[in-house]
Amino acid sequence: MDLILPSRRRRLLLTGVVAAVAAPAVLTAPSVAQPKAAKQGEEKETPGEEVTPPEDLMREHGVLDRCLLLYEAGVRKLGANADLDPSLITQSAGIIRDFIHDYHEKSEEHHVFPRFRAAGKMTDLVAILERQHEAGRKVTDTILRLAPAVRSNEDDRRQLVAAIQSFITMYRPHAAREDTELFPKLKDVVSAHEYDAMAEDFEKTEHELFGADGFEKMTARVAGLEQQMGIFDLSQFTPR
């Protein structure tokens, strides 16, 4: 039997030997209270913990938005002539490349956009969104190329700031339109079965690419970059 570790989509109650050996971290979670009927080694889904495809995609937008916040903080530092460790930009761009372009956007391109096209709905919006994915990948390549020289080359620094700003300018409305216009309509263009299958496909691909707890790992990486950039403490943004 393949062991499925807990992820954001499937919170499994791992009981007995399986939980003790394979997922010790789970033992600290409140959800491990074992139902009396559960047998040792049995896996059981917790009701109500399933994540729908739109919710899944919107959580990934949350990771994207946190990367955009890192970009904004980086641009502020460059504008103020403060020192900026170039690796904070390259690592943020790396997360965007790996998690957003090569995973999240592929999910949209392979699973979401074709359903709207097949249904003849929101096709103009889908065409723009798809073009923007392509444009976004190019801008990320540019950011990754320019960032290493940010301390030494003023021209590279200027071009980097322009590239980052164009990326933010495109992705804020891009993600907001998907969240508010496209994703809420997904249920109208797929059957209930396809909707469930889509959630499973997203999960399977994410496991293949990033491991069973890929989303949590990615979020932790972003949080680490936020700490280094000085934007992790959320309370600093509360007006006094």
Footprint on this chain of Fe ion (rule: CB under 5 A)? 108, 129, 178
Q: Hunting for tokens 């909707």 — which residue is that?
A: 195
Kindly state the smallest distance separating residue 169's Cβ from Fe ion, in Å.
15
For Fe ion, give the closer residue by CB, 108 or 206. 108
Could you please report the per-residue DSSP string of 124-168? HHHHHHHHHHHHHHHHHHHHHHHGGGTTT-HHHHHHHHHHHHHHH
The nearer residue to Fe ion, 44 or 117, going by C-beta atoms, is 117
What are the two backbone dihedrals, phi and then psi, of residue 44, each rounded to the nearest 5 degrees? -140, 135
Residue (178 or 203) nearer to Fe ion, CB: 178
Describe the crossing of helices 53-79 and 86-95 by its angle, rounded to 10 degrees: 160
Secondary structure element (H or E) that encloses residue 103, with its range: none
Shortest separation between residue 133's beta carbon and Fe ion, angstroms = 6
Nearer to Fe ion, 52 or 159 (CB): 52
SS3 content of the chain, % helix, strand, coil (to 5): 75, 0, 25
> How far apart are CB 235 and Fe ion at their closest, in Å?
29
CB of 189 closer than 8 Å to CB of 116: yes
Q: Toward Fe ion, which CB reaches closer, 18 or 175?
A: 175
* Smallest separation, CB 89 to Fe ion (Å): 21
CB of 183 to Fe ion, least distance (A): 8
Query: For residues 112 and 163, which CB has a smaller minimum distance to Fe ion in the complex?
Result: 112
* Least distance to Fe ion, CB of residue 173, Å: 11
Amino acid at the residue 178 = E
Cα–Cα distance measured from residue 78 to residue 240, given in angstroms and rounded to the nearest whole number: 26
